[in-house]
Every structure is written in C-alpha cells, then in structure tokens.
Structure 1
Amino acid sequence: MSVNDDPNAQQREFWRNADVWVQEQERLDAQLGHIGLAAMETVEGLPTEANVLDVGCGCGQTTLQWSERVGGSVLGLDISETLIDVARRRGAAHAAERPETAPIAFEIADAQTADIAALGAAASGRNGVFGGFDLVFSRFGVMFFADSAAAFANLRAATRPGGQLAFVCWQTPRQNPWLVTVNKAVLEIVEMPDGGGPAVDPFAFADPDFVSDMLGAAGWSDAGLESFETEVLYGVGSTLADTAQFAMDLGIARRALAGHPPELHAQAKDAVIAALAPFETPKGVVFPAAAWIVTARN
C-alpha cells in the first residue's frame, strides 16, 4: 500500500504499539475525562434519536458516555487495533450492564480516508436510510492527520446537513507543561536519535487561526474556539517515582532512551522526579493545562 493509499501509515504504526495506553487506561480516563465532559456540555439541540461519531475514541470512554446521552447510536473510530480491542470489550460490558443506553459499535478506521457514512449506516442498523451523523465528536483524537483539511472534509461528508462538530485539542506547549517538563528533563540526559522525534504532535492544533481556516477549507461553518483552562492530575494516589515512570512511558522519553543502558534510564528517571517535584500536591502531581473546545456546523 502506498503512502497515497495510506497517508496516515506512520500514525497507524505508532498506535499499533499502544500497550502502555491500555495499561494506563484508567489513569488516562481520570486525567482527561473532565475535559471531554466540558466539550460534551457545549453540544445543544441534538435530535432525540441522534447518531454520534466519536473520532479517535481510544479505549472508548467518551463513546460510552455518549451512549448515555443520546437515543440513536454511537460509533467509535480509531486507527489503533490495540485500543479498539479494549473499547469493544468495554462496550460489550457496558451494553450488558446498561441495556437501555444507545447501541455502540467500534471500528478500526482512518477517519481521513474511510467511508464513514457506510460505517455509520451499519452501526445504526439503518443501511440505505442513514442520513448521516448528527454530531462528530473527539477528545484529543483529531490532531494527528497527515492532511487535516481532507480528514475534516471526509468527516463532514458523513454528517447530516445542520449536523454539529465538537472536539477538544491542546493549546500551546507553554500552557501545558505536563508534557514539556518531562521531555525537557529526559533530553538533558540523552539526545533524541535521528528520526526519533514524535510521531504524533498533540499541539498541532494550538493555533486557533489555523484551526478555523482548516475547518473552513474542509467546508464546516460557524467555527468557534472556546478556551478551557484547567488542571491535569497525574498519579492519583501514586508515589512521585511511579508518576515519573507513567509520564516517561507516554512521552518521547521511551524513544529517546531506547537502547541505552539501565543506569542511564535510572539517571533520566531521577531527573524527571526532580522536575515533577514542584508540581506535587497532597492529591498528586498537578499541572496547569489549557485546551480549545472547538465547535462548528455542517
């Protein structure tokens, strides 16, 4: 398959090795859940039988939350087979425990290139009469496309006229020291190898003008960005050393330290512990954070 056929091949490969995200699923849900809920609260006027698309759904927390809010169906998409396997297990358990909630389906798909309308029709059980999604939603899952405008045009094509878009993305690294602090500490110990830079850029949508222009180019209208300033809590009930390891496992530290001897790993971890110490509170390591809540209409 050529890069033209699979423009997000690097992303697919990156998220194929997502075991650490599975292992830390509960901690990540606790860390990010309140931000996703804030974005959900901005969505108003959905029809009673709304169909929702959850893009970059990961292990499925937001998909499950939408199933409790709408009466139609909810489809979670993610490029990672590893994460979708977990989401499907969670979805099955949720449906068994809460049969009154909206039906859920999860699909492994690239939202930039997939026939999303067809996936939505199958998920809703309305093949041939599916009118499109009433809402496209994402919690930090849409910043990584090779061609963002093409991806959002594809998402819009699967959305009914008048349908809504709502997602959250990070603002600047300066406003989100949760990642910068750890990476800086590690890269003072080891150098990033050639080609070892981040395969994903969580700050790709930090510039509000870029986001507005990109959505306009994709055909969305009435784009708006609302600043959401909050906190990110690391390591609830964990030691500082455990929190440092958690942060290193999820950042570029893993690639930077790959192949280095154990003593250098230990030195880097000590540096991260020292960098995190100023942010330690009685409830855990707490960082200031800032996200954009982005909305638009088809």
Structure 2
Amino acid sequence: MNPNFSFIILTFNEEIHLTRLLDSIKQLSAPTFILDSGSTDKTLVIAAAYNAQVQHHPFENHPKQWDFALKNFKINTPWIIGLDADQMVTPELFAKLSDFKNEEYSDVNGIYFNRKNIFQGKWIRYGGYYPMYQLKMFRKGIGFSDLNENMDHRFIVSGNTQIWKDGHIIEENLKENDLSFWYAKHQKYSELVAKEEFERLMGLRTSALHPTLLGNPDERKAWLKKLWWQLPLYIRPYLYFTYRMLFQLGIFEGKNGIKFHYMQGLWFRLQVDKKLNILKKRNKVPYERNQSKRS
C-alpha cells in the first residue's frame, strides 16, 4: 500500500464516472476513501469492487461534505488528495504521483494540480479556464475545507505550497451533456452563491484567506471575488462575460465552448444576481449596506 498519500472522493450517483476515476489511480496503490451522500445507482458496487472504504453523510454543500470527510476518515498517510468523482488523473500526473516521496517535500504543505475542464467533449481552453490550478494535495492535519464558502469548495493550508504545471486532472461531467441537467444543477448553485454573498454583505461570513492579487491561485481568486462583490448587480455579469469572450479569448473556443461561456459566465451570474436582489429586498437592506465592503 502506498505510504505517502491517500485519496478521498465524494460521490452521489456516480456510476457513469467512478470507474473512470478509479482506473486512473488504481496502480498508485493508495488507500481510497469514498464519502457518499445517498447514491441509488451502482456507485457503491463500483466502490466495493475497487476496495474503497465508504462512509455515508447527507449532502448540504461541498465544503461541509469535505469537512466531514477530512474529520471522519481514518487516514494514516502524511498526505491527502481530494478528488471529485467526475475527475481523472492523466498519465503525466500519474507519473508525478508515482515518483512522489514525502521526505522530498518536507518544506511543502500543499500542492496545486493543473485542471483541464471538458464540456460536451470540448476542452475549455480559453475564457480564463486554463490553466486552472487547484489545491488538491495537502498534508493531513494541516489542510482543511473552507467552510466560509457555500458552493465552491477549496482546501486551505498554511505554509509553503507548490504548483505542478505539468500533468493534469481532467474534469468532465458526462451528466452535463444533458443541458437540462446542467441548468437544474446551476439553478441550485445560484441559490447557494446568492445566499453566501448576502451573508457576506450582512457580515455573517468572512474570508479564511488573505485576498491578494500577488498571492497563490486561491488568494488571487479571493481578491477577484472581493472586487466582484463591489460591482453593481445585473451589470457585472455582462462585464464578466465580455471580459471572458474578448480579453480571455473565449470567442475562439468554438461552438460548444462559446455556449459554455455564455451559460456559465453570463446566464448563471444573472441568476445569482436575481436571487441576491430578492434576498436584499426581502430583508430591506439599506443602500449604505449595499455599498459596504465585503470580506
């Protein structure tokens, strides 16, 4: 058994994805733990076939699900790799993990993997979607799930981190080939994001990171989010979509890619703004609070 790291994977009805992911990491011989939130398909049968240890926990949001997994699985390796069920490891990343030795990373607490996002068979290469560095590997007891987020999940570590630019995790949610699934999923996500932003507006949430444009990938993203929160509702989605399409070259993505940028960069952001505006009106948030600085 691999003494350096273990995998944790979240699942819910992932029979279409799970075999693909587990096949991509099988030869690493690493302990594998799956936290399932009520699958009714063959997900658990597949997990058992690959000798994964499974626990169950009702789903509320991704950050809380990851928090439960990190606190309740008995991990005996010094490192943890957190993956989503619709991801898989490329041969190049597999090679880096095969060569990984804990003693060679004594001054590092977290490692960012480079992600390629695939939508309806198309690699989303432009619009700010590549390269996309995500903290996926971290030291046990140091990395934790950021519960200040309501929808986007991220792991946080203190101390030094490293970015692996070569090798990728491939993320391709085959369920999203059905656009009705994509729209229903993102309607739910828009509610979570609107609620999070409203709670930040009211001072009920703070940031676990120091937002800085010159920091690591997550700190830069936190800085951009802070800027986003200051922009006027209903205008910011159009500004963002224009920026993605023109300045980040999304216009060169091709038919499927442009469709993705429209749905994710404009339609989804408009849904968030509509729901956030409803929350503000319902709670009679004064103009001064609307303009307040969110952290």
**Taking structure 2 as the reference length, what is the TM-score of the superposition?**
0.30
**Taking structure 1 as the reference length, what is the TM-score of the superposition?**
0.30
The higher relative CO (CA closer than 8 Å, separation ≥ 6) is in 1
